[in-house]
Structure 1
């Protein structure tokens, strides 16, 4: 009798599992494994990528979708991972995305025209800090003639900083270049060994919080509309960003700077329905994502297209049109024209 009872329970369990792996129409779905390329496990890309993988695996189980975040060397490697179908999705820095799409810098002569954007995730906010005694106009042009850290050598910070400098007609010849990490930059400024530095990241940046809290007599420089336009003439991926007053200790006024997107990308080969489901599920479950990392709290539907440097994937395009977002002409996928 016990044997029969256990057999019945087992059959019910198997039927339940089978039912759970069917979509709304009752059709059984073949499991689709999606890898999300991120960056090192100690940064922001990885926990947000893992968070998206957990979200999609949970909410799209009936569609047969199973997703997971994978650590990597960052944006440049992530392009290769997508190209080689070793990852189906990736988080990319805006500048690296546009360089890959246009075949410049690390991708010189090899434009990756199949690269598509799914959504801006959170902003990489540019923080140019300078000792108050060196500030004249209050804008990033004030770095001229100073000792200034452009970020660690070969880092995304260095690449971005040099592009922004080019946009305001400056080169390394116009400054005394240093190549320091964020904490070391603030420490050197505190000790009087450095005038300023570039510290791009999601707000608040802990090193800059320390700068304000510890009484370093320095400020965040602003970026004018004219400067932003000139920077975007080189690579169109930055947009205006306001750091609200009170973000940092003793910060009594809003600060007008710029940001570039950290965005979710895929190849145009990833099928339209899958990307539509991923995008829709992401924006219908933002509270889930907010638990993955504090930077994820910047994810909002109204900013989903901010600064995207490459055309949208047609699946994401379908979703954003459906919810009524205004889509810039350059973001319309060639496949939808």
Structure 2
């Protein structure tokens, strides 16, 4: 009798444990943990804080999905493509130009196209800031970099690549300057110390390093881009557009700055599963107020501009979300996986 009772109680206990579920990834249990790395750029620009902010958002809101995401600094867009290829990052913030080159197998990716690159969303415009010490300024435009000691950005970065394309558009090469390869904060520090005449610092406004330049009294300015220069640059790669930095954006700057911009976008490897990317996209757009508090540049993120300027097809997960929201998806952005 006691043996029979013991067997009955044991059976009941097993059934109860099965009903409660475990900690694995089976039916009824917790989701399998996913650790996602978001490649960004150097810490003095805009990519890094926005990447970290997205990681924090996803980790907080998608705990139940087992997702933990972290923004990591890098050398920028060109390296980020390599990190995606190697599986060392699952997502990356990328400059529009670099994404276009990677998809086409041109520029830095000549003969080495990255066919697995997919887009999630346009994030914000990448605003060109060509900084120059005032004693080197003559026309007030980007042509003034000729003959100066000028930082084109870290080697292999998106900054370097876009800067060289812009220089090509105005008939300049590295031979026309004394090139340095510095990050944003180091560029301004070197200018302050008299070791550098200027540098290229593209990012969403306001750029922390440029804020520091003006606030700390460095005798320098942001050079402007004329309509003729914009047209010439777009004859090399048609990806830039007019952008006006409003007066008051930077300390002690009481007039508009006429420059240009290109889109920044969130890229992803197509290998990341559809449901995960769907949840990431949905969570991002349902929590824009959170992102607006991360950085002023994030305030340019809207559902209406999500597809603007994307150089790679959407990931199937992002495609699913945007279709649900009623967006009209251009043919070139429909993922091959969905056709």
Q: TM-score w.r.t. structure 1 length?
A: 0.75
Asked whether the equivalents of residues 132 and 219 of structure 1 are also in contact (C-alpha less than 8 Å), the reply is: yes
Residue segments in structure 1 that go unaligned for 5+ positions in a row: 1-10
Match of 2:312 among 297, 310, 334: 310
Mean Cα deviation higher: 87-96 or 44-53: 44-53
Partner of 1:93: 95
1:227 is paired with a residue whose SS is helix
Could you say which residue in structure 2 is the equivalent of 1:157? 159
2:36 corresponds to which residue? 35
1:240 & 1:142 partners in 2: Cα distance?
19
2:119 to 117, 120, 129: 117
Structure number, greater radius of gyration: 2
Aligned match of 2:106: 104
**Deviation for aligned residue 1:166:** 0.9
Cα shift at 1:251: 1.2
Root mean square deviation of aligned Cα: 3.8
* CA distance in structure 1 between the aligned counterparts of 2:220 and 2:235, rounded to whole angstroms: 30
Tell me by how many angstroms 1:134 deviates: 4.5
SS of the residue corresponding to residue 169 of structure 1 reads: coil
The one of 222, 225, 235 equivalent to 1:223 is: 225
Note if contact 1:37-1:70 (Cα within 8 Å) is conserved in structure 2. Answer: yes
Matched with 1:7 is none
Other-structure match for 1:126 = 128
**2:268 aligned with 1:266, yes or no?**
yes
Distance 1:59 1:164, change over 3 A: same
Q: Give the TM-score of the pair, scaled to structure 2.
A: 0.75
Structure 2 match to 1:3: none
For residue 162 of structure 2, give the secondary structure of its aligned residue in structure 1. helix
Q: 3-state DSSP class of the match of 2:202?
A: coil
1:68 matched to 2:69? The reply is: yes
Residues 41, 47 of structure 1: 8 Å contact kept: no
The correspondence for 1:198, drawn from 186, 192, 200, is 200
Q: In the alignment, is the contact (CA less than 8 A) between 1:314 and 1:335 conserved in 2?
A: yes
Query: Bigger shift: 287-296 or 26-35?
Result: 26-35
Residue 275 (structure 2) pairs with residue 285 (structure 1)? no
1:275 is matched with which residue?
277
In structure 2, the gaps of 5 or more residues are 1-15
1:53-82 deviations in Å (ceiling 9; x for gaps)? 4433443455x3413226364444443443
| Match 2:174 to one of 167, 172, 175 | 172
Using the TM superposition, give the Cα deviation of residue 164 of structure 1 relative to its aligned residue in structure 2, in angstroms: 1.2
CA separation of 1:239 and 1:307: change in aligned 2, threshold 3 A: farther
Change (3 A) 1:205 1:55: closer
Residues 52 and 250 of structure 1: CA distance in aligned 2, closer, same or farther (over 3 Å): closer
2-structure distance, mates of 1:143, 1:34 = 43
C-alpha displacement at 1:282, in angstroms? 0.5
Q: Deviations over 1:15-72 (max 9, x none)?
A: 5x98xx99xxx9777536251332479465455444334433443455x341322636
3-state SS of paired residue (1:258): strand
